[in-house]
Amino acid sequence: MRAAAQAREAALGLRGAERNRDDGRVEVLAPGSTDALAGWLAHGPPPVHVTQVERDHLPTMRRTAAFRAL
């Protein structure tokens, strides 16, 4: 999921980071307009099964040169 999310984020022109959490969830930090990304994350790539997407609006984060896996 993380690699697919990274590719989708790059295609949408987003810059940020994502990481696998110890509990199996994937965390994505993306500044800017993220509606298209959130819609894609709600379904994920096959064979991923997404059960929930949570969105939090955080204070402005520093933009990075490219998306990176943490």
**How many Cα atoms sit within 13 Å of 30 on the Cβ side?**
25
Alpha-carbon Rg for the chain in angstroms:
11
Q: How many residues would you count in the chain? A: 70
DSSP helix, strand, coil percent of the chain (3-state; round to 5): 25, 15, 60
41-63: pLDDT as tens digits: 888 888 888 888 888 877 765 65
Question: What is the residue extent of each domain of the chain?
Answer: 2-60
Active site amino acids: 2, 20
Task: Write out pLDDT tens, residues 16-42.
Answer: 788 889 998 888 888 777 788 888 888
Q: What is the pLDDT of residue 61?
A: 56
pLDDT at 22: 94
